Amino acid sequence: MLQCIFLLSDSGEVMLEKQLTGHRVDRSICAWFWDHAISQPDSFKQQPVIASPTHYLFQVFRDGITFLACTQVEMPPLMAIEFLCRVADVLKDYLGGLNEDVIKDNFVIVYELLDEMIDNGFPLTTELNVLQEMIAPPNIVSKVLSVVTGRSSNVSDTLPGATASVVPWRTADPKYASNEVYVDLVEEMDATINRDGVLVKCEISGEVQVNSQITGLPDLTLSFANPSVLDDVRFHPCVRFRPWESNQILSFVPPDGQFKLMSYRVRKLKSTPIYVKPQLTSDGGTCRLSVLVGIRNDPGKTIDSVIVQFQLPSCILSADLTSNHGTVNILANKTCIWTIGRIPKDKAPSMSGTLVLETGLERLHVFPTFQVDFRITGVALSGLQIDKLDLQTVPYRFYKGFRALTRAGQFEVRS
Amino acid sequence: MAPPQSQRSPSPSQPSGKSEVSDLKLQLRQLAGSRAPGTDDLKRDLFKKVISNMTIGIDVSSLFGEMVMCSATSDIVLKKMCYLYVGNYAKGNPELALLTINFLQRDCKDMDPMIRGLALRSLCTLRVENLVEYLVGPLGSGLKDNNSYVRMVAVIGVLKLYHISASTCIDADFPATLKHLMLNDPDTQVVANCLSALQEIWTLESGSSEEAAREREAVHSKPVIYYLLNRIKEFSEWSQCVVLELVAKYVPSDNSEIFDIMNLLEDRLQHANGAVVLATTKVFLHLTLSMADVHQQVYERIKAPLLTQVSSGSPEQSYAILSHLHLLVMRAPYIFSSDYKHFYCQYNEPSYVKKLKLEMLTAVANESNTYEIVTELCEYAANVDIPIARESIRAVGKIALQQYDVNAIVDRLLQFLEMEKDYVTAEALVLVKDLLRKYPQWSQDCIAVVGNISSKNVQEPKAKAALIWMLGEYSQDMNDAPYVLESLVENWDEEHSAEVRLHLLTAVMKCFFKRPPETQKALGAALAAGLADFHQDVHDRALFYYRLLQYKVSVAESVVNPPKQAVSVFADTQNSEVKDRIFDEFNSLSVVYQKPSYMFTDKEHRGILEFSDELGNLSISVESGDSVVPAQRVEENDKDLLLSTTEKDEVRDPGSNGSAYNAPSYDAAISQPLADLALPSTGLTGQAPASSLAIDDLLGLGFPVGTAATPSPPPLNLNPKAVLDPGTFQQKWRQLPISLSEEYSLSPQGIVSLTAPNALLRHMQSHSIQCIASGRQSPNFKFFFFAQKADEASVYLVECIINTSSGKSQINIKADDQSSSQAFSTLFQSALSKFGLP
C-alpha cells in the first residue's frame, strides 16, 4: 500500500505531491531522498528501493523525472515499481513526452490521472484506453473541439464503457472508416563477446507490437510459422491462454490502438550479424588500438546505424584515433564514439590509433568494453516468422501490415 | 505524525508567496457570486494558480473559504481541482471543511456517476473527525449505487472512514455490507476493493473483537478462495495481485486441491505484469513446500518466466526480480546451474545489480560450469569499476573454496597476483590465504608467487595481514621470510592497523620456532614494540607471548604454532533460519533488503522512533550551532527528523534501568590511558611479573591491578534513574550558560555503530546519561543528553553533535553546579569513547 507519490524534477524540486492515505507524508522526505541520492556514487543513484529513516522509498527514473513513492508497511516491491513504471508510461503517452515543463504545464491532468489510477494506496487501473476515456488527453484535437463546441471541459461526461465492459482493456465500441491492423516484430539482440573473441552469450528479447484500428469487437488470431524457436513468452492480458498452449496460436480481442501483444525470448543463438574485433597492444607507455568491424553473417538486409562506443580508461592521457570509414569523436568524459553508419559492401571499416598512458605506467591494465549498436530493418534475427493473421466475428475487410526490425540491445565486446 | 502543512511557514525561496496569496484571495472573492458567462474560465485559471502554489509548497490554506464559495459550479475540471484543494487542507481547517460538506453531499446525488464517484471520494478524503456523521449516508447509498464506479469508490471510502473513526464504521455495519458485495458483486474491481478493505479492517479489529478474527479467518476459507480463483481472469492485473497474495496464505486440504490451484493459475506466469508473475510464483512455492519433488518442479517451471522478466523489464523492475531470483538461486543453486549465463554482468548495469549477479554466479558454480564462470569473472577483474573488480576476485575465491577441483582456479588467482594492480593484488592475497587454509597442498605453487610480492606494494590492512600470515606460516619455504618480517618490525610505528600488528607478532613468533637464529633479533624487537603499543589487544598479545616464552619455549610453540587441520567449511554469514524467514516473506521488501521484515520494521532494529511534536520545538532554541544553515531549514528538518526517546525508553526499559550499573570511578580510570601498562616493556630482560597480573591479561580483562595507583578524579556519582521532562529541559537549556565546550574524536567503531543511533542511547544510558532528543542531518548526528547527580537534584545538560565523516564530536555542557562540570565532562567523554568498542 503506497502512502504518497512525489514527482521530482532533475534538480530535486518537488513538482507534484499526491497524498494517498490518511497518514500524511511530509515533504521533507524528498529533501532526505535528494541528499541521499547525491551522496551516493553514480552507479547507486538509481537504486529502486531505499530505506529512509522514516519510510521505504521506491524510485523510478524516467527522462529526467524521478517518480518517488513512500510506504511504511510491507508490500510487494515489484507492485510498487511496476506501478510507478506504468504511471510514467501513461504520463508519457498522455503528455506526448516527459519533461519538467510538460508536467508543470499539465499538473492538473497529472492529478486527475493519479486520482483514477490509485485510490487509498491500491492501484486501480493503468489501462491507457480506459483512462483516455475518463480524462481526455491535452492534445490539439481536444483543444479545437473545446473551442468549437464551447465546452471547456477536458473530461467526458459519460463514464467509460470499458469500466463496465467484460473486456476491460477495450473501449466499448470504437468506429473507424478504414480498418487496419499493423503487426511489428521488434527484436533486441543481447550479446557478449569475450576477450578471446568467443561468443559467450547471445540471446534475443523480442516484442510483438500491434496497432489495431478496427470497428466493433474483433477477435483476432495470429499464428507463427515457427513458434518452436521461442523460449519463453509473456502475454498482454487480452491473449487467451488455451489456444496458445495447445496449438501455439495467439487468439485475442485487441485493445484499441497501439499495444504490446507479447514479449518473448530466444536463447542460445549461435552467431551475430556483425563482428567487432578490438586489439590492444601496449608497449613502453603507449598503447596501440585497432578495431575492425565487418559483416559476419549477411542477414540479407542492410545493417544500418552502426555505432561502436567505449570508455577510455582513466589512466589514458591522450588518444589519437582515426578511421577509414565514419567519424570518431572523443567526448570530454573520455567516451569515444565511432559512428560508422551503414557498413559498406566493398571494405571493412577499421579504426586505429595510439593511446598515451599516464607517466610511469608501462602497460594497460584496465581494458575497455566496446558497446556496439546497429539496426537491421526488415528482418527478425531470431528467425521468428508470422504465418497469418485472421479476423473473426467482424465481417469487415481489413488491411493487415507486417514489419520486422532487429536492433542491438546490450551488445558488448570486451578487449 | 508530521505537523500539518498549514502550520508551516512558507519557505524563504518564495518571498512573493504572501502577497500573491492575498491577491488570489481578492480575485476569488470577486468571482464567487458572479454568474456572468465566461466565469468558469476565469475561475479555472485562478484555481490552477492556487493549486500550482499548493504544489510548490506555498501555504494557501487561507483561501479555504473563498475556494469553497467558488465551488458551486457544473464544470467538472473545476470540481476536481476544488476537491483536490479541499482534500489537502480540510484536516487543518475542520470548521471550514464543514462548508464543503454541503456541496459534496449534493454532488453525491448527481446524475452523472463520474461526479457521484468523485464527490464521494473527496468526501472521504477530508479525514476530519467531527464530520464523520455526514459520511455514513452517502457511503451507504454509494455501496448500493447501480454504477460500479461509484460502488468501487464507496468501498475504499468505507476503509477511509474506518481509519478516521473505527466505531462509526463498525456501528453502521459496513463490514457486513462489504462482505456481501465481495461475494456477490458482478464487477471485479469492486470485489477486489472489498477484499483489500476487509482484510485491513478485520486485521486491525481482530485484536479487540473475536468476531473480526473469525471473519478474517473466513476469508481464507475454501469457498471464498475458490470463488475468487474462479473469477481471477476477470480481475484487473493489480487486483489479481491482491487475490494471489490471499491465495498464498490458503492451506489446501489435500494434494489434488494443490494441483487444481496450480493448474488454474499456471497461465498467470505468462502475464505481462511482473507483479502478477511474482505473486503467482509465491503461491506456487508456498503451496508445494511440503512436497519436495513437486517443489523442485515448481522451481523449474518458474525459472523461465522470471529470467524473461529480468531481461525484458526496465532496470528497476529487473532489479526487483533479480533480488527474488537471488533468493531462489541461493536456496536451490543446482536448478539454475545451467542458466549461469543469465547472471553474466553487462558493462553498463548498475553496481548493485552486478553485485547480486556475482553472488548468484558464485552460488551456481559446479563441476561442469566452473571453468567458464571463472573465465568470465576474471574478465571483470580488469573492469573499470573497481568495487566490482574486487567483488569478482572475491567471487573467484569463493568458488575455489566450494569446489573440489581447484586446479584451474589457483592458476587464475596467481595470475591476479601478477597483474600489478594494487587492489587486485590485495584481494588476491586475502584469497590465497583462505585457499591455503583449506588446501595446504597448494602451498608450493602459491608460495613461489607470493614470495615475489614486495610487502611495500601492499598497503591495505587485510591484504598486508594475509601476506604476513603466509610469511609466518610458510617461513620454512620462503628464504627471506625472517628478513622481510624484520624489516616490517622495524617500521612498526608506521603501521596504523592493529590487525596487521597483531598478525605481525604472531608471524614473527611462528618464524622464530622454525628458524630461530635468523629471527631472534626480529622477535625481540617485535615484542618490545608490541609491549609499548597503545592498542590494548596488541599489547596484551605481546605480553602473553613474552610470558609464554619465558615459561617454556616448547609450550609456547605448541600454543602458537600447533599442527593445523585444513579448514573444511568456512562459516556462513547469514544463518539458515534467517534465510527461511526471508523465503516465507517472498514477494515483499524483505527479499530486496535480504533481511527478514522483523529486522527492519520492528522499532528495535529500525533505529528510529515516533515523531514527537512537542519535542519538535526543542532545537529552535538551541540552533546556534547550526548557524551556517538557514534557520528555516533547520527548523523544518528538526521538526521532522527529531526523535524522542525518553518516553519510549522509560516505558520499555524498566529492566535495563534496574541492571544499569553505575561505576564512575571505573570509567575515570580508563581515561588515564594505560599509563602503567607500559611498565613491563622497560624491563624486557626478565623481571618476574605477578602471576595474578598475567591471569588478568590472559582473560582479556585489560584492567591492570595497578589502577588503584592512578590519581582518581573527584568522585562523581550519577543517578541512574534520572528523570527530566522535555519542557524543563528546554527551559533549563535556555537559562543556563554553557559551562564547558569541548571537542574530541570518536573511535571509528563508534562511528560505525552510530548507524543505529539507538545503540548510542542505550550505551549512554548504561552510564547513567539519558538522552532526551536526537536528530540527524547528514553527516551530523545531534543528541541532547542529561544526567543528574546521585545525591542531589543538580543536573547536567549536554548537547552533543557528532560528525560521522570526520569522527569528531562537539560537546556543550551546561550544569546547575558549574564547579563539577569538568568532572562530568571527563565522565561523559570516557563513556562516549567506549561506545562501539566490544
Query: Is B830:B669 a contact under the CB 8 Å cutoff?
Result: no
As given in the structure block, the three cell numbers for residue B411 are 592458476
Question: What is the least distance, in Å, from the CA of A153 to any CA of chain B?
Answer: 6
Residue B378 CA to residue B421 CA, distance in Å, equals: 14
Q: Which of B57, B307, B317 sits opposite A78 (nearest CB)?
A: B317
For residue B466, give the nearest of B377, B359, B394 by alpha carbon.
B394
Residues whose CB is less than 8 angstroms from the CB of residue B163 and which lie 6 or more positions away in sequence, other chains included: A21, A22, B127
Task: Centre a 10 Å sphere on the Cβ of residue B797 and count the other Cβ atoms it contains.
Answer: 23
Say what the pLDDT of residue A137 is.
Answer: 66
Task: Return the sign of the alpha-carbon dihedral for residues B316, B318, B320, B323.
Answer: negative
Confidence of residue B602 (pLDDT cuts 50, 70, 90): low
Say what the pLDDT of residue B522 is.
Answer: 82
Greater confidence, B396 or B33? B396
Q: Is A11 on the interface with B (CB under 8 A)?
A: no
CB–CB of A412 and B347 under 8 A? yes
Instruction: Please provide the average confidence, as pLDDT, over all residues in chain A.
Output: 80
User: Which of A90-104, A283-297, B458-472, B578-592 shows the lowest mean pLDDT across its residues?
Assistant: B578-592
Confidence of residue B674 (pLDDT cuts 50, 70, 90): very low
For residue A414, give the nearest of A190, A197, A203, A269 by alpha carbon.
A197
Q: What is the pLDDT of residues B261-301, one digit of tens each?
A: 888 888 888 888 888 888 888 888 888 888 888 888 888 88
Question: What is the least distance, in Å, from the CA of B652 to any CA of chain A?
Answer: 21
Determine which helix (DSSP H) or strand (DSSP E) holds B424, and give its type and residue range: helix B422-438
Query: Is B622:B738 a contact under the CB 8 Å cutoff?
Result: no
CB–CB of A47 and B51 under 8 A? no
Question: What is the least distance, in Å, from the CA of A206 to any CA of chain B?
Answer: 8
Q: Which of A19, A56, A159 sits opposite B114 (nearest CB)?
A: A159
Q: What is the pLDDT of residues A80-116, one digit of tens each?
A: 888 888 888 888 888 888 888 888 888 888 888 888 8
For residue A114, give the nearest of A123, A105, A106 by alpha carbon.
A123
CB–CB of B245 and A76 under 8 A? yes
Phi and psi dihedrals of A38, rounded to 5?
-70, -35
For residue A29, give the nearest of A49, A5, A11 by alpha carbon.
A5
Q: Is A277 on the interface with B (CB under 8 A)?
A: no
Stretch 308-337 of chain A: residues touching chain B, C-beta under 8 Å: 311, 313-314
Determine which helix (DSSP H) or strand (DSSP E) holds B142, and give its type and residue range: helix B133-143
Q: Is the pLDDT of residue B789 over 50?
A: yes
Say what the pLDDT of residue A170 is.
Answer: 67
For residue A104, what is the nearest residue in chain B, using CA coordinates? B52
Strand order in the sheet with A4-8: A14-19, A4-8, A65-71, A56-62, A49-51
Question: Which residues on chain A are in Cβ contact (under 8 Å) with B314?
Answer: 60, 85
Q: Is the pLDDT of residue B101 over 50?
A: yes
Q: CA gyration radius for chain B?
A: 35
For residue A201, give the nearest of B361, B504, B475, B333 by alpha carbon.
B361
Provide the percentage of residues in chain B whose pLDDT is more than 70: 77
Say what the pLDDT of residue B342 is.
Answer: 82
| Burial class for B272, CB neighbours closer than 10 Å (0-12, 13-18, 19+) | buried
Confidence of residue B809 (pLDDT cuts 50, 70, 90): confident
Q: Is the pLDDT of residue B419 over 60?
A: yes
For residue A17, what is the nearest residue in chain B, using CA coordinates? B55
Question: Which residues on chain A are in Cβ contact (under 8 Å) with B192?
Answer: 122
Residue B274 CA to residue B643 CA, distance in Å, equals: 38
Greater confidence, A124 or B567? A124
Instruction: Please provide the average confidence, as pLDDT, over all residues in chain B.
Output: 73
Confidence of residue B615 (pLDDT cuts 50, 70, 90): very low
Q: Which of B652-656, B680-684, B801-805 has the highest mean pLDDT?
A: B801-805
Task: Return the sign of the alpha-carbon dihedral for residues A109, A113, A119, A123.
Answer: negative
Query: Is B87:B126 a contact under the CB 8 Å cutoff?
Result: yes
Q: What is the pLDDT of residues B335-382, one digit of tens each?
A: 888 888 888 888 777 778 888 888 888 888 887 888 888 888 888 877
Q: Is A375 on the interface with B (CB under 8 A)?
A: no
Greater confidence, B739 or B707? B739
A:B CB pairs within 8 Å = 272
Residue B241 CA to residue A237 CA, distance in Å, equals: 14
CB–CB of B311 and A311 under 8 A? no
Residues whose CB is less than 8 angstroms from the CB of residue B773 and which lie 6 or more positions away in sequence, other chains included: B612, B615, B618, B619, B642, B643, B644, B645, B646, B726, B783, B784
Say what the pLDDT of residue B568 is.
Answer: 66
CB–CB of B238 and A123 under 8 A? yes
In the chain, the amino acid numbered A365 is H
Say what the pLDDT of residue B694 is.
Answer: 39
Q: What is the distance, to the nearest Å, from the Cα of residue B177 to the centroid of all Cα atoms in its chain?
A: 41
Query: Is B101:B131 a contact under the CB 8 Å cutoff?
Result: yes
The answer, yes or no, to whether the previous bond of B779 is cis (omega within 30 of 0) is yes
Residue A76 CA to residue B151 CA, distance in Å, equals: 26
- Specify which residues A356 forms β-bridges with: A286, A318
CB–CB of A205 and B270 under 8 A? no
Q: Is A35 on the interface with B (CB under 8 A)?
A: yes
Residue carrying the nine cell digits 588500438: A289
Q: Is the pLDDT of residue B14 over 50?
A: no
Q: Which of A326-330, B103-107, B375-379, B593-597 has the highest mean pLDDT?
A: A326-330
B761 to A55, B71, B616, B685: CA distances (angstroms): 22, 52, 19, 47
CB–CB of B238 and A126 under 8 A? yes
Q: What is the distance, to the nearest Å, from the Cα of residue B467 to the centroid of all Cα atoms in its chain?
A: 34
B217 to B206, B213, B214, B251, B662: CA distances (angstroms): 10, 6, 5, 11, 51
State the average pLDDT over residues B501-515.
85
Say what the pLDDT of residue A346 is.
Answer: 78
Say what the pLDDT of residue A105 is.
Answer: 80
Residue B363 CA to residue A3 CA, distance in Å, equals: 37
Confidence of residue B37 (pLDDT cuts 50, 70, 90): low
Query: Is A74:A56 a contact under the CB 8 Å cutoff?
Result: no
User: Which of A161-175, A343-357, B66-80, B170-184 shows the lowest mean pLDDT across its residues?
Assistant: A161-175
Q: Is the pLDDT of residue B2 over 50?
A: no
CB–CB of B80 and A115 under 8 A? yes
Tell me the Ramachandran region of residue A55: left when phi exceeds 0, alpha when psi lies from -120 to 50, beta otherwise. Answer: beta
Task: Centre a 10 Å sphere on the Cβ of residue B608 and count the other Cβ atoms it contains.
Answer: 16
State the average pLDDT over residues B735-746.
75
Please state the three-class secondary structure of B339-366 as a single string. HHHHHCCCCCCCHHHHHHHHHHHHHHCC
Interface ipTM: 0.75
Confidence of residue B570 (pLDDT cuts 50, 70, 90): low
Residue carrying the nine cell digits 543511533: B757
Residue carrying the nine cell digits 584469497: B431
Provide the strand spans (E) within A1-48.
4-8, 14-19
For residue A107, what is the nearest residue in chain B, using CA coordinates? B52
Residue carrying the nine cell digits 479545437: A144
In this prediction the pTM is: 0.67
Question: Which residues on chain A are in Cβ contact (under 8 Å) with B267?
Answer: 241, 245
Q: Which of B272, B375, B597 sits opposite A235 (nearest CB)?
A: B272
Q: Is the pLDDT of residue B646 over 70?
A: no
Residue B767 CA to residue B764 CA, distance in Å, equals: 5
Residue A23 CA to residue A25 CA, distance in Å, equals: 6
Q: What is the pLDDT of residues A61-78, one digit of tens each?
A: 888 888 888 888 777 888
Confidence of residue B34 (pLDDT cuts 50, 70, 90): low
Q: Is the pLDDT of residue B185 over 50?
A: yes
For residue B423, give the nearest of B450, B459, B471, B375 by alpha carbon.
B459
Greater confidence, B163 or B573? B163
Secondary structure class of A302 (helix, strand, coil):
coil
Confidence of residue A17 (pLDDT cuts 50, 70, 90): confident
Residue carrying the nine cell digits 485487441: A254
Residue A102 CA to residue A92 CA, distance in Å, equals: 10
Greater confidence, A165 or B715? B715
